[in-house]
Structure 1
């Protein structure tokens, strides 16, 4: 199944969108077999993929009652799982930056992405330019970065300047979550570039999923949260939003950069 190309899209840059379905789950593809996002058809607001669930781990570091007053932004729409969850389940103001208009059209038609409203804004734009817009600086509480090309080999934006712009977008207590491939050659470079913007002491990460996705959390001005409070919040997250948050408490690790010249 293919979505017709938008006449405004650059034919040499933006890949075609295709869909597949298996065992009640619909997948989004970009001109390749690699899955760019998924939705369980019977539960369109649930987050199906494990790594995408982990992109919500920033919830551990905020008061659950304050979540509806926060602003979430996704760089890269995928199949819309994070966007729908933040907008519909969490009741957050939600903004999306997606380069490919075909992806937006596919999500609206096949993945239950709602129309824009007073709390949801899906913008067809270049994330590299959007993060430089000073109007966003200091405005985002949860920045979720999942920017891959059709080959899904590594992030298309991963430079130190890009992550510095992401840092500037965050509110004082904001958190960026990033999907990286832990087994890919770009992983160490990305971690070094994120650390240069946020400070290595502000980074946490999960071990790779079975598919190789490593989710990294980078907090702007982290306030220490004691483990009993983390467990309490995890229980609240599971009760309210059915995410496996108690596993996150045990699985999150501090980033330890490799010293120059070390083995």
Structure 2
């Protein structure tokens, strides 16, 4: 397991795995805020799914617990299951980044995400799956095979939404994107690249989705008003970035 280290600058605390590369960040005065742009975009499932009692989210990779904290605070109907292999990351998320302890809405499993998605126990169990799996080298996701993404598909309900953090400036990008597209029958959208070279992919399971972008924009505005999540640029970014999605969402 990589060593877990920390740094602080300008009121922001950073998580590292024994190198200068950033694995996550938190604004100390606002620990429940999702600080990094790509992390914010990992919440894009909110655009397409209404939160409701009994909804379950699988979060593969804990990091600083940014998504965990946000969902725990702003999505009270949702139960989040976190899968994190490194026990030191779990300890750090709770002690240094103020991630809450497990309760009826939060379950943390020290487990391998690649094995988790292959388990028959979790088949068709989750409304959304968030994947952010990187090691100390950060040159691409540590889980990127077709079998892994087929596993992600299998643990989703239908309708269900997958969000994945990809690194755009590396050969792993096309490998991952191709495997996500194959596992999800090409029902995949991309956010524009963020300033830190991350690209978040959104994949869909279930009935075909068609909606006017103006209606998706209304949903984005509602999320912004309720949570402060900066969704105001999401719709324009997604509609521009993806071919044949300019006029309306159809996937």
TM-score (norm 1): 0.88
2:120 pairs with 1:121 = no
Equivalent runs, 1:57-76 vs 2, <5 Å: 57-63=44-50, 66-67=51-52, 69-76=54-61
Q: How does 1:7-22 map to 2 (within 5 A)?
A: 14-22=1-9
Change in CA separation of 1:243 and 1:68 when aligned onto 2, cut-off 3 Å: farther
- Partner residue, 2:231: 245
- Report the Cα distance in structure 2 between the residues aligned to 1:37 and 1:255, rounded to whole angstroms: 31
Alignment of 1:45-124 (within 5 A): 45-63=32-50, 66-67=51-52, 69-91=54-76, 92-124=78-110
1:219-247 per-residue CA deviation (whole Å, 9 max, x = no partner) reads 11242122121011011000001112121
1:168 and 1:128 mapped to 2: Cα distance?
Answer: 12
From 122, 129, 144, the equivalent of 1:143 is 129
The CA distance in 2 between the partners of 1:86 and 1:67, in whole Å, is 13
Query: Are the aligned partners of 1:179 and 1:216 in contact in 2 as well (CA < 8 Å)?
Result: yes
**Residue 190 of structure 1 corresponds to which residue in structure 2?**
176
- Structure 1 stretch displaced more, 68-77 or 230-239: 68-77
Count of residue pairs the alignment pairs up: 240
Shift in Å at residue 255 of structure 1? 6.3
**Which residue in 2 is equivalent to 1:11?**
none
Gaps of 5+ in 2: 245-251
- Of 214, 232, 251, the residue aligned with 1:228 is 214
TM normalised by structure 2 equals 0.92
* Aligned pair partner of 1:179 in 152, 165, 171: 165
Kept in 2, the 8 Å contact 1:45–1:89? The answer is no
Q: Distance in 2 between matches of 1:99 and 1:146?
A: 12
- Partner deviation per Cα, 1:195-230 (whole Å, 9 max, x = no partner): 110011x10001211110000000112421221210
Once the two structures are superposed, residues 51-101 of structure 1 have per-residue CA deviations (whole angstroms, 9 ceiling, x without a partner) of: 0001111111123xx345421111000100001111222112011000000
Separation in structure 1 between the aligned mates of residue 73 and residue 88 of structure 2, nearest angstrom: 22
Q: Shift of residue 153 of structure 1?
A: 0.9
Gaps of 5+ in 1: 1-13, 257-263
Q: Secondary structure at the match of 1:225?
A: strand
Please report the RMSD computed on the Cα atoms of aligned residues, expressed in angstroms. 1.3
